[in-house]
Structure 1
């Protein structure tokens, strides 16, 4: 027997309990509540399973003997019906009592998220704001504050899920749903669409950055600003390529003539933690690869691949986009 292999099994199993996309490694008040719910339910059901099956083992194998009808009826009704019903009812009542907290109102900030094909349209509404701060494919949240999400979908059903911060909420075309989350620690986590939505469902993810309140306020102020003006010759050339290739028909870059609303807002795309809705690191090389081979990297995505662009223009465009911070 390979004991080294056996010794590795617990390490592999426990390795799946931590990480930035694990429900067993919570970083938010709601995720902690759900983990507590899971743990209590699991313990209760294990106790129930052991009790019921223990009785069956005891009376059938360890102490088999004849029982009169009255004693047998009490054993079956009490141990097989009343006891499981009481335990399950208690667990259910307690579980339902804590679930309304998952829909508690926010502390002021509201975020609208629209599920697209296959990416995320994001709009921040600070308290009292008349216009939103638009972003895409990334969500940033303040630690210690409850943020309310309004969710919708453009075409099909999606499901909004940040495992380390809270539970899932479905997104329906033409219908708003709501969830609220309260991070308890700063970090970078991963969200995912949890409802099969088409060819690139598995590649419809997003990064979630939780920040201390002061850092979040500074980021939100910067996010509301127009795009930075390119300074290097390569970036300036990339800005020209962006215009001549017609990218502004689909994408918006605030402070420029690009005002497209079809695709993600690119005003600060260079500052995001991922590219292509969570599938690539946002390097210049990956941005160039995304532009040239979009359909290969994300099947059936609506953005066309610009594989006919010459290498110099492609790298200049990627350099310009990476500089939008």
Structure 2
């Protein structure tokens, strides 16, 4: 059972994240209590910096890629964040300028409206769209003789995986075994409702749709255990609809193929 500690704001689960949040809350209260302009600025900026830093790691973080596909998606996230921040800063600057300047001629207003309100956002969005299309093209599965095909069947609320082995087909439940540094095509199927296959550190997500077979390419750059989840609400057991992906080295993969480990 998780341990809890009593804070004036309620019970917060003990752990690295909880301790960090608790310290942040009391630090911000102390900073705000002193009421200086500089401290207020720090108090406003600190939460964003803290949440950004805590979101960059973890078993389900897309910003800690462990495969080629996820490695292509992570920069897209940062580029989109930069583009959104640029547009936000421009809007804030225009808002501040509107409060500061009382009189301006029509030409100046038109320049700001056309340049700042139309051209700049349009250029940023077009650049983001182009970068997204390039990344999307890189994620398409390519012909590769090393590719291993695995059938993943989803149901409420478990995943079953079937793949070829040395002595015949190998079937596992809620654990997908793959070799490291080798592309894997996951053929997605569902036996009931729509589910979504997503291993954030290895690749993007794709839906498993009744009556269709979708294929997602994943690959792990090094041996390890990676965690996946269903990213489409599928009923009351959705929060427990997770699984593990175990990436083996050459020796471990040979043992699994021989049926020595499941």
TM-score (normalised: structure 1): 0.61
How many residues get paired?
220
Is the 2:73–2:135 contact (alpha carbons within 8 Å) kept by the matching residues of 1? no
**What is the aligned counterpart of 1:154 among 191, 197, 206?**
191
Give the aligned partner of residue 41 of structure 2.
Answer: none
Query: Aligned pair in 2 of structure 1 residues 17, 57: CA closer, same or farther (>3 Å)?
Result: same
Aligned to 2:129, the other structure's residue is in SS state helix
Instruction: After superposition, give the CA deviation of every residue in 1:230-259 in whole Å (9 maximum; x if it has no partner).
Output: xxxxxxxxxxxxxxxxxxxxxxxxxxxxxx
Give the aligned partner of residue 122 of structure 2.
Answer: 85
Unaligned runs of 5+ in 2: 1-21, 29-46
* 1:145 matches 2:195: no
Instruction: After superposition, give the CA deviation of every residue in 1:141-193 in whole Å (9 maximum; x if it has no partner).
Output: 22211111110101110000111111110001110011101211221111111
* 1:48 matches 2:87: yes
- Structure ranking higher on relative contact order (CA contacts 8 Å, 6+ apart): 2
Give the aligned partner of residue 61 of structure 1.
Answer: 99
Instruction: After superposition, give the CA deviation of every residue in 1:87-118 in whole Å (9 maximum; x if it has no partner).
Output: 11111111111113323135321111010221
Unaligned runs of 5+ in 1: 224-270, 273-325
CA distance in 2, matches of 1:21, 1:210: 16
Q: CA deviation at 1:4?
A: 6.8
Over the aligned positions, Cα root-mean-square deviation in angstroms equals 2.6
Aligned to 1:222, the other structure's residue is in SS state coil
Q: CA deviation at 1:52?
A: 2.8
- Choose between structure 1 and 2: higher strand proportion: 2
Q: CA deviation at 1:26?
A: 1.6
**What is the aligned counterpart of 2:170 among 126, 133, 136?**
133
CA distance in 2, matches of 1:57, 1:4: 29
Give the aligned partner of residue 181 of structure 1.
Answer: 218
* 1:102 matches 2:139: yes
CA distance in 2, matches of 1:188, 1:151: 21
Is the 2:167–2:258 contact (alpha carbons within 8 Å) kept by the matching residues of 1? no
CA distance in 2, matches of 1:94, 1:183: 24
CA distance in 1, matches of 2:243, 2:189: 16
Instruction: After superposition, give the CA deviation of every residue in 1:70-93 in whole Å (9 maximum; x if it has no partner).
Output: 232122011100110011111111
Aligned to 2:160, the other structure's residue is in SS state strand
Give the aligned partner of residue 37 of structure 2.
Answer: none
1:1-325 to structure 2, matched below 5 A, reads 5-6=25-26, 14-58=53-97, 60-62=98-100, 64-105=101-142, 107-125=146-164, 132-222=169-259
CA distance in 1, matches of 2:135, 2:24: 43
Query: Aligned pair in 2 of structure 1 residues 4, 138: CA closer, same or farther (>3 Å)?
Result: closer
CA distance in 2, matches of 1:95, 1:7: 39
Instruction: After superposition, give the CA deviation of every residue in 1:11-33 in whole Å (9 maximum; x if it has no partner).
Output: 67644432222222221111121
CA distance in 1, matches of 2:127, 2:254: 43
| Structure number, greater radius of gyration | 1
Q: CA deviation at 1:5?
A: 4.4
CA distance in 1, matches of 2:59, 2:27: 25
